Structure 1
Amino acid sequence: MTFLHREREQLARLLPGFDEQLSRQEPANLEARGSSVIRDFAAAGGAGLLVPREHGGLGANATQATEVMRALGSRSASVAVGTTMHHYKIAWLAETLQPELRAPILERIARQRLLVASCGAEGQQTGGVFNPGIEVREHHSGVVVNGVKRPCSLVWDMGILSMLVRLPDGHPMSGEMAILLIDADHPHLHRHELWLNDALAASQTDEIRLKNVYVPPEAIIPIGADTAGKGASANLIWFEILITAAYLGAASGLVEAAANAPGAGIETVLDSIAMLEGAYLAVRGLAQRVDAGDRGQSALADGIICRVAAQRAIRESTSHALRVLGIHATPDNFRAAAAARALAFHPGGTRDGIPALLNYYNGGRLVLS
């Protein structure tokens, strides 16, 4: 079996023809601002990857999804990273919503092939996943939101914006965390360019501005007040396994290029392959636990451990791959290395993940701010 063979076979089973479609394109085109790769993914049925079959989706489980995300990342870091923001929210909605809410939301997403952008606060030096810096006030049992979300992936091709907020004073569920679902064509939702880096440019990581956006009660999904509770933990576990698999895929694509470089050969990069495979197998093992129903704090802690180990494996393997490529290294190779290392910018990285883990291992609860 060749490197990445298993993951690409899974992608071919779930989205027939899409891997070939990606492999025929120049990497620069797949990663450039204005690329159609996100739209192509949705058109191929990718928006329904984690939507259960009974709601019109592909019904992939966590293990299959990690394989798909790694395969996608090896072809285009932008499509893997960008769509992760959709997939983890879909997975969480599928297992958390009551049936009467779950069916219409997920069936609409699968039928219309809609992508869901996720509004957290990753990439910022202040704030956190539960504090996106958006002002929320009560209005007629719903809420009105104002503010700027930057960065946010899938900005230009999203169908729905999802936002995690704490419900304000005056609301019937004041103090609880909730998911807000806002149609992307809302007249008071505005998009603006933000991302200046070539790496991950096609992920549509830009800025959303909201001005007096009313969200009705039926588009508010409460998840409880406890950011360390089972609902919040499940959401974060899905995020950690999928985002880690996506970035490991980006690094794997670069290492694959190094193995195929003139005069190199797979034995030259075997240490890099071993590092990436070890990190990926840990993530895949955690995905199998998720498929078995594990959503507890220990699973989230292990997800962060997998994530930190993956960051180190990515850093070392991509550096080695560039050394192997040497004078044969292309701008695409350097772009892939930069993209793969961006895993550190997402929630659960060393800035917030390590202090949370230390508190957990000292007998406290695992809370990502």
Structure 2
Amino acid sequence: MRFLQREHDTLEALLPGLDKALGAFTLSELEQRGGPGIAALREAGGSGLLVPAEHGGLGASARDAVRVTRAIATRSPSVAVAATMHNFSVASLVTLAATSTGFEWLLLDAVARDKRMMSSAFAEGRTGQGVLTPTMSARRAEGGWLVSGSKKPCSLSASMDLITASVALHHEDGTTGLGIAVIPAEAPGISVRPFWNSPVLAGAESDEVVLADVLVPDELVVKPVLDPETNLDDLNTTGLIWFNLLVSAVYLGVASALVARLLDSGRGDAATRVDLVSDLESAAFALDRVAWGVDTGSVGNDALADALTARYSLQRTSRRVVGTAVELLGGMAFVSSPDVALLAASVHALAFHPPGRLSTVDAMERYHGGAPLRVD
């Protein structure tokens, strides 16, 4: 089987025409600010990938979602990042809907049938700030909450129809709790400011989204109860598993795009080229194992540890593989087109997504000693 054939076949089966649509543009066109990739994703029905079929979506499995994400990333890292932020938000909403009789199914219907895109305004992964620490706060108002704050970077900031956000809820008795809010992007008080100044991943629309006293009805705010041992609830745990699974697939795809170019060029020796493919496919097998667990209902604390293990291993593998691939492709490939530099630079962004490896090493060590995995 040709390298990446399985991934591109899965993409074509679930989102027919998207691979061809993205392939009609150069990488530079797709990666630039305001590029055509996110519109192509929406047009192909990408917003409904993880929405259950009974609500108009495709009901894709986690294993297929990983393959689709990897394939998209070989065409455009920016589009794959944007799709990941949307898809993990949808997956969290599906999880919430499974144990609720509230608004969730109506939103999922709209996401799939009306091709609406959801941005994620959860943690930014800033130094000294917990991955679950909200960047927004809310105070009580008649019929709901007034939400204020900002999220930067926030992918899909130019294309979002809905925003999912973690919010610090300031109750009238002086206590503070955690809330998960779903906010229509057209609500009064929402604005977008320029933020992303790097040419790398510029097509993901990762600018700053600002909320100023945005009224969110009570029915669009969920109040999770966190386990004191893990600092997580089922919703946060599932969301983190999906996020780490899909964001890993993005950068696996980016590294794969460079190795595919190396295979096509025939540069270097066969042994090294096969070694690079083997390294990436081994990482893919690890993600597939985590995805299989999600598909069979394994979304607890151990599954989150597995997802983080697979991701952090991929971070090291991808940097090493990309370094070798760039060297073997040679200087002329590097200077004659921006593609090699864009892909090589993009791979390093995996380390910047929360929760970062260095922020979890102590928790992971305690986990391997028998304690529950705690994410702060």
Alpha-carbon distance in structure 2 between the residues aligned to 1:351 and 1:178? 27
The answer to whether the aligner puts 1:278 opposite 2:285 as a matched pair is no
- CA contact 2:116–2:162 (8 Å) conserved in 1: yes
Cα drift, residue 344 of structure 1 = 0.4
| Unmatched 5+ stretches in structure 2 | none
The answer to whether the aligner puts 1:368 opposite 2:375 as a matched pair is yes
* Alignment match, 1:56: 56
* Alignment match, 2:306: 302
CA, structure 1 residues 280+147, in 2 after alignment: closer, same or farther (shift >3 Å)? Answer: same
SS at match of 1:367: coil
SS at match of 2:330: helix
- CA contact 1:167–1:176 (8 Å) conserved in 2: yes
The answer to whether the aligner puts 1:353 opposite 2:354 as a matched pair is no
* Alignment match, 1:133: 135
SS at match of 1:202: helix
* Alignment match, 2:326: 322
AA at the equivalent of 1:202: G
* Alignment match, 1:194: 195
The TM-score with structure 1 as length reference comes to: 0.95
1:143-195 CA distance string (max 9 Å, x none): 112122111111000001110124322389x6543211111112211101111
* Alignment match, 2:273: 269
**What is the CA RMSD across the aligned residues, in angstroms?**
1.8
Cα drift, residue 335 of structure 1 = 0.8
AA at the equivalent of 1:110: A
% identical equivalent positions: 37
SS at match of 1:351: helix
Alpha-carbon distance in structure 2 between the residues aligned to 1:188 and 1:266? 58
Cα drift, residue 132 of structure 1 = 3.1
AA at the equivalent of 1:270: V
Which of residues 196, 213, 228 in structure 1 aligns to 2:232? 228
AA at the equivalent of 1:344: A
AA at the equivalent of 1:333: V
* Alignment match, 1:341: 348
Alpha-carbon distance in structure 2 between the residues aligned to 1:367 and 1:40? 39
Which of residues 98, 103, 106 in structure 1 aligns to 2:105? 103
- Greater mean alpha carbon deviation, residues 240-249 or residues 137-146: 137-146
Alpha-carbon distance in structure 2 between the residues aligned to 1:133 and 1:107? 28
Between the two proteins, the alignment pairs up a number of residues equal to 368
Alpha-carbon distance in structure 1 between the residues aligned to 2:323 and 2:246? 23
Alpha-carbon distance in structure 2 between the residues aligned to 1:207 and 1:237? 25
Cα drift, residue 69 of structure 1 = 0.5
AA at the equivalent of 1:258: L
CA, structure 1 residues 53+196, in 2 after alignment: closer, same or farther (shift >3 Å)? Answer: same
* Alignment match, 2:205: 204
The TM-score with structure 2 as length reference comes to: 0.93
Alpha-carbon distance in structure 2 between the residues aligned to 1:70 and 1:232? 24
* Alignment match, 1:7: 7
| Unmatched 5+ stretches in structure 1 | none
SS at match of 1:224: coil
- CA contact 2:124–2:151 (8 Å) conserved in 1: no
- CA contact 1:141–1:171 (8 Å) conserved in 2: no
Cα drift, residue 33 of structure 1 = 0.6
AA at the equivalent of 1:24: A
1:281-316 CA distance string (max 9 Å, x none): 101111001100001111100111001101011110
